[in-house]
């Protein structure tokens, strides 16, 4: 079982005076109670982790507490435990958008000695650039088309309103090209703004964007997980992703045509990037 080493988390809800334990079981000490009500995970029907609160539903009761009751490390540990148990028990699990894969996709595989280990915080600029690149991958042809269309439209408009003569032809062509370029740039800037917004919406939803992340790449699989809970013993097998895209700053792994994991190159020492690229290229198709 991946993430089997996570120590149970104790949460004290100040407002209600209730203490929760999230671990091998889910336990609730009601206000003033000496004995807890303890649930095994197969008794839990659903768990939801939102920006504001964590909610646990059983057949008869619903427990929820503010996320602020958990310190950052404890929050990641609690989420790690919930996702570990979600893999083994069939409760419904709702969560916000995530930057990195869920813990439930990890397998208990110990990386070999050939593993490349790195760590670092995710850089907003790098991520936005990656998002734009991902958009460009789809938009690049559209942008060219827009540019050419605008050029033609501008040229046509000039001809219609001013009339093309031998004298002004040399002015109108650069004007048309420039207008096509400007419109494309505007479209690009809009895309950039959208990408940034998209990144911010994910980053705001996932506190992992502001914490130290451990990255592992080896022949057996890869990992991108919060350093405070990752002990280096769990990996996501390569067959969990479909292909990858390499930018100058990141490796982006895709699953079902959606970005799945971002591995920033600067998390590793420069001399290892070649080796990492080789492993990824052997294991995945590049697009």
Partner 1 sequence: MSVEIKCDNISVGGSNVTLVSVRNGESGIGMCSSGINPASGDSSTINKFFYIGSDPVININCPNMGSSVTDKMISFSSGFQGVDHDIFDAFTADLNKLNRGDSLTNSLKEVFSLLTDGVYTVYTSEYYPTDGNGLFFWGAYNITHEVRGTAEHSTSIGNRPYRPCFLIPSQPMETYTTKTKQTTDEAVKSRRVQGIAYHLSGFHSVLLKGHHGAVSCAENGIPFKCAVIERVSQPYTDFYPAPVKKTTAPPPQTEETPAEGAEATTPTPTPVPTPAPVAEEREGISGFRSASVKIPLEAFPKDVLRLILETHPDVKPPHFKTLMNKTKAVRKRAVTNNILPREALDNCEMMPDCEMVESAFAIDDISESQLNALLAGDTELNGRIIISPNFYSSIVTACNFLQFKDEQRFVNFSISILENPDLNATHEYTARRLARLSANEKAYRFFKNVIASDDAKYEKFLTVADRYVREYDLNKNK
Binders in 202-231 for partner 1, by CB under 8 A: 220, 231
How far, in Å, CA of 7 to CA of 210, rounded? 22
Minimum separation from the CB atom of position 40 to partner 1 (A): 4
Instruction: Identify which range of 33-41, 69-77, 132-140, 181-189 contacts partner 1 by CB under 8 A.
Output: 33-41
Residue 103 or residue 265: which is nearer to partner 1 going by CB?
Answer: 103
Q: Which of 12, 14, 17, 38 binds partner 1 (CB under 8 A)?
A: 38
Closer to partner 1 by Cβ: residue 7 or 287: 7
Distance of closest approach, residue 202 Cβ to partner 1, in angstroms: 30
The DSSP code for 151 is H
Q: Single out the residue of 98, 196, 198, 233 in contact with partner 1 (rule: CB under 8 A).
A: 233
Task: Tell me if 107 contacts partner 1 by CB under 8 A.
Answer: yes
Stretch 257-276 residues interacting with partner 1 (CB under 8 A): none
Give the helix/strand (H/E) hosting 141. helix 124-161
If one asks whether residue 8 binds partner 1 (CB under 8 A), the answer comes out as: yes
Place of tokens 């890869």: 222
Residue in 221, 226, 207, 229 with CA at minimum distance from that of residue 4: 229
- Smaller CB distance to partner 1: residue 1 or 162? 1
Q: Does 109 bind partner 1 (CB under 8 A)?
A: yes
- Specify whether the CB–CB gap between 74 and 8 falls below 8 A: no
Query: What DSSP string describes 41-100?
Result: GGGEEEEEE-SSEEEEEESS-EEEEEGGGS-HHHHHHHHHHHHHHHHHS--EEEE---SS
Minimum distance of partner 1 from residue 37's CB (angstroms): 4
* Of the residues 15, 31, 32, 35, which one makes contact with partner 1 according to CB under 8 A: 35
Q: Is 120 in the site for partner 1 (CB under 8 A)?
A: no
Cα gap 206→199, rounded to integer Å: 10
36 lies in the site for partner 1, by CB under 8 A: yes
Pick the stretch among 5-13, 188-196, 259-267, 274-282 that binds partner 1 (CB under 8 A).
5-13
Long-range interactions of 5-13: CB distance < 8 A, separation 24+: 5/231, 5/233, 6/77, 6/80, 6/81, 6/84, 6/229, 7/77, 8/81, 9/70, 9/74, 9/77, 9/78, 9/81, 11/65, 11/69, 11/70, 11/74, 11/78, 12/69, 13/65, 13/66, 13/69
Query: What residues between 143 and 182 interact with partner 1 by CB under 8 A?
Result: none
- The binder of partner 1 chosen from 72, 94, 108, 210 (CB under 8 A): 108
Alpha-carbon distance values, 14 to 19, 110, 144 (Å):
9, 40, 58
Nearer to partner 1 by Cβ, of 61 and 287: the residue is: 61
**Cβ–Cβ under 8 Å, residues 158 and 95:** no
Please report, as residue ranges, which positions from 51 to 80 form the binding site for partner 1 (by CB under 8 A): 58, 60-61
Check residue 89 for interaction with partner 1 (CB under 8 A): no
Q: How many residues does the chain have?
A: 287
Q: Does 13 interact with partner 1 (rule: CB under 8 A)? A: no
Using CB under 8 A as the criterion, which residues of the chain lie in contact with partner 1 when the complex forms?
1, 4-8, 10, 21, 23-25, 27, 34-40, 43, 58, 60-61, 107-110, 220, 231, 233-234, 237
């Amino acid at each position: 079982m991946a993430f089997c080493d996570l120590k149970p988390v104790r949460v004290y809800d100040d407002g209600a005076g209730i203490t929760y334990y999230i671990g091998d079981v889910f336990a609730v000490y009601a206000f003033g109670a000496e004995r807890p009500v303890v649930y095994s995970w197969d008794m839990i029907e659903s768990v939801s982790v939102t920006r504001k609160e964590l909610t646990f539903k059983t057949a008869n009761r619903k427990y929820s507490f503010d996320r602020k009751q958990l310190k950052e490390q404890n929050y990641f540990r609690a989420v790690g435990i919930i996702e570990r148990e979600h893999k083994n028990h069939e409760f419904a699990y709702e969560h916000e958008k995530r930057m990195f894969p869920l813990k439930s996709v990890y397998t208990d595989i110990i990386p070999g000695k050939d593993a490349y280990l790195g760590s670092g915080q995710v850089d907003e600029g790098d991520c936005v650039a990656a998002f734009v690149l991902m958009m460009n991958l789809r938009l690049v042809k559209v942008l060219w088309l827009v540019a050419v269309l605008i050029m033609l439209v501008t040229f046509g408009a000039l001809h219609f309103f001013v009339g093309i003569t031998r004298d002004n032809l040399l002015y109108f062509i650069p004007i048309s090209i420039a207008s096509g370029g400007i419109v494309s740039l505007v479209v690009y800037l809009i895309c950039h703004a959208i990408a940034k917004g998209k990144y911010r919406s994910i980053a705001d939803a996932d506190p992992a964007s502001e914490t130290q992340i451990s990255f592992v790449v080896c022949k057996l699989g890869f990992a991108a997980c919060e350093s405070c809970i990752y002990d280096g013993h769990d990996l996501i097998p390569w067959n969990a992703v479909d292909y990858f895209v390499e930018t100058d700053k990141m490796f982006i792994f895709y699953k079902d045509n959606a970005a799945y994991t971002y591995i920033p190159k600067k998390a590793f020492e420069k001399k290892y990037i070649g080796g990492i690229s080789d492993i990824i290229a052997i294991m995945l198709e590049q697009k």
